[in-house]
Structure 1
Amino acid sequence: MSDNRLYTPTGRYLGRWEHDTPEWHAARAQRIGGSRIAAILGLSPWASPHSTWCEMAGLVDAAPATPQQDRGHYLEPAIAAWFADQHPDWHVFTTGTWVHQDRGQHLANPDRLIRYNPIPNAVGWFDIAVSALLEIKTDADGTGWGEPGTDEIPLYYRTQVQWYMDVLGLQRAHIAVLSDRLTFAEYVVDYDPADAALLRQAADDFLDSLLWREMPDLDGHPATYETLRKLHPDIDDTHIDLDDDTAIEYLTALAETKTAEARVTAAKSRLAAAMGTARRARWRGQTIATRQAKNGGTPYLVAGRKLPDPTTLTGAVA
């Protein structure tokens, strides 16, 4: 069913364009959507406040889609079909790009919109009230997801759906995910007015920083470093004299990296010696590492998935 005949309490429909087309990017150019609000708060695995600021300021082009994002785009229809099959009495609509009716720079691009109740015969197609939104995800890692049916989802996705609900004036978001074990699961997140107020303030502060050309601080996110590489593509035959703080920070980080690499190598050596010819190393019922080989070559260690954070293990080996 078409999305331009729907309405939400506070949303204003802009249109629908093919993903990653010039029109798609133009609708988002100077607006804050779900992915950007997460990046602004430092919660995105793909973008940082600094990289997002430089992109919106027109200093660099938008980063190309990652393989993970491409995967989600291609699998989205199948996951949506699964969700619709689980709720045959609901109406699931394809949708496009929306903004808040009073805050035009606050944007939402939900994957689908949902109406719980039947559509009366007397109601025109331009009068269909939306009940909730649906976000569709794939996750090859599986970290951060709780029991299906709960609201326990990764913080990055929670931020995204809270933003969308605030823009559209909806009270509930459903999340359908294809997990790392190739199983479908469903989660439900309700609108939180306090969280939404914090998101709105962060978005408006960020938009003000663009207006006043106040670039965010540098940080350790990979996207920040990649953005700086894009900002300075040329190499001149010149030099600069560094201040003490910058030089010492860089030298210290290099030394710590070398120390950390040596520790990892030593730990892998001890583990390899302990494993011998075993395929798996397990600790307290969890696989910590496996030995693998390619085309009959020399075996090598591969770390297990979803490993525990060692900072949380204090007292575990008493």
Structure 2
Amino acid sequence: MGNTGPLGGSPPLAYPSGAQIVLAANAPSADWHAVRRTGLGGSDMAAICGLNPYTSPLEIWFSKVGRPVPRRNDPVLDEAALMGHALEPLIATRFTALTGLLAVDGPGTLRHPSRPWIANLDRVTEDDGLPGVVELKSRSSYALKDWLDEPPVDVQVQVQHYLAVTGWDYAYTVALIGGQRTLVHRLERDEELIADLAAIAEEFWGWVESRQQPPVDGSHATGQLLDRLHAHPTRDVVVADATEVEWLLQQRAVAKQEIAAAEIALLEAENRLKAIAGDATDVHTRGELAYSWRPQPGQISWKTAALAADPGLDPEPYRGEPTRVLRVHLENL
């Protein structure tokens, strides 16, 4: 591998796909958000594929059609995003130290010539005279196992999207794990995956252009979005289509029965494993630790502790935001 060639210390201006730079890297934030509404970016693709635990396809659709969505109130996620951006120069430096390859700033916002695809590359590199994408991530130590062998699927989708936009043949992902360990993976262009993403993107963008809301899916992200969108009801009753509602209620009842059966099977298996362990903490099979049943400290009840310290404590100032609860009244359909 080498770090010299046509890159010349700055991003290349030609892309085999025919992509063009439509917004400079230092453009105002308002311009950047405006351009993002006109196409699908890498993180958008991961979300519409159902791979983002925090952002649903429905939320992406709202953003593309220009409909406001209540902001998620999560200081922890906000801090993680802020620190991830702040750490990018450090992660890029580690990439160069580990690989000997350049990692220069991305060129700005790229647009594919024939598809509603855009890309904002974290960094650009060059290997054997050919340009490539460098995607930088910062993750907690809990994510280590997800990165050991290869990047998580959502990151692979994001990177393949960038390769589709640029027309380039490879990319590197660089993950700083727990602030202590840097993992680098090289990904080659995957034409089959890119074709699948193109089909998904075409269907989704059709919903954007027609302003037809995509189907509601079963993700937690969609549930959280609906909670935010409808946190403050303004009317008591809506008359809905009986056929649709009754079918959904039946589906819900069947799912609850299947969950209950699965929970019984799970508990039976766990109880039998506990019986085998008996008074032992570890169970071995074929010379290896198969499972353990070890003591652990009990959980602390902070509510009990607080009331014991101050029996007159008023809990109301500590109450969280109000939520809406879904309760079914037609159980026998």
- What TM-score do the two structures reach when normalised by structure 2? 0.67
**Residue 159 of structure 1 corresponds to which residue in structure 2?**
157
Match of 1:142 among 141, 144, 149: 144
Match of 2:232 among 228, 231, 234: 234
Bigger share in helix: 2
Q: Is the 8 A contact 2:119 2:165 kept in 1?
A: yes
**Residue 63 of structure 2 corresponds to which residue in structure 1?**
55
Identify if the C-alpha distance between structure 1 residues 255 and 22 changes in structure 2 by more than 3 Å, giving closer, same or farther.
Answer: farther
Q: Which amino acid aligns with 2:97?
A: D
Identify if the C-alpha distance between structure 1 residues 237 and 61 changes in structure 2 by more than 3 Å, giving closer, same or farther.
Answer: closer
1:75 aligns with 2:87: yes
The CA deviation string for residues 32-90 of structure 1, in whole angstroms up to 9 with x for no partner, is 011111222223333333332233223343755835544533433322111111233x3
* RMSD, aligned CA: 4.0
Identify if the C-alpha distance between structure 1 residues 107 and 220 changes in structure 2 by more than 3 Å, giving closer, same or farther.
Answer: same
1:293 aligns with 2:297: yes
Match of 1:98 among 109, 112, 116: 109
Q: Is the 8 A contact 1:3 1:94 kept in 2?
A: no
Identify if the C-alpha distance between structure 1 residues 228 and 141 changes in structure 2 by more than 3 Å, giving closer, same or farther.
Answer: same
Shift, 1:196, TM fit: 2.0
Identify if the C-alpha distance between structure 1 residues 262 and 84 changes in structure 2 by more than 3 Å, giving closer, same or farther.
Answer: same
Number of equivalenced pairs = 280
**Residue 7 of structure 1 corresponds to which residue in structure 2?**
13
- Say which SS state the counterpart of residue 91 (structure 1) adopts: coil
**Residue 312 of structure 1 corresponds to which residue in structure 2?**
none
**Residue 252 of structure 2 corresponds to which residue in structure 1?**
250
Shift, 1:268, TM fit: 7.1
Is 93-102 or 217-226 further displaced after alignment? 93-102
Shift, 1:112, TM fit: 0.7
Shift, 1:260, TM fit: 5.8
**Residue 121 of structure 2 corresponds to which residue in structure 1?**
110
Q: Is the 8 A contact 2:20 2:110 kept in 1?
A: yes
Match of 2:40 among 13, 32, 43: 32
Q: Is the 8 A contact 2:25 2:109 kept in 1?
A: no
Q: Which amino acid aligns with 2:289?
A: G
Alignment of 1:115-264 (within 5 A): 115-116=126-127, 131-139=131-139, 140-145=142-147, 147=149, 152-179=150-177, 182-235=180-233, 236-238=235-237, 240=239, 243-254=245-256
**Residue 320 of structure 2 corresponds to which residue in structure 1?**
none
Q: Is the 8 A contact 1:113 1:130 kept in 2?
A: no
Is 179-188 or 152-161 further displaced after alignment? 179-188
- Say which SS state the counterpart of residue 204 (structure 1) adopts: helix
Identity of paired residues, percent?
24
CA distance in 2, matches of 1:255, 1:32: 39
Shift, 1:254, TM fit: 4.6
Q: Is the 8 A contact 1:99 1:105 kept in 2?
A: no
Identify if the C-alpha distance between structure 1 residues 143 and 87 changes in structure 2 by more than 3 Å, giving closer, same or farther.
Answer: closer
Shift, 1:95, TM fit: 1.9
Q: Is the 8 A contact 1:55 1:62 kept in 2?
A: no
Q: Is the 8 A contact 1:281 1:290 kept in 2?
A: no
- What TM-score do the two structures reach when normalised by structure 1? 0.70
CA distance in 1, matches of 2:84, 2:293: 28
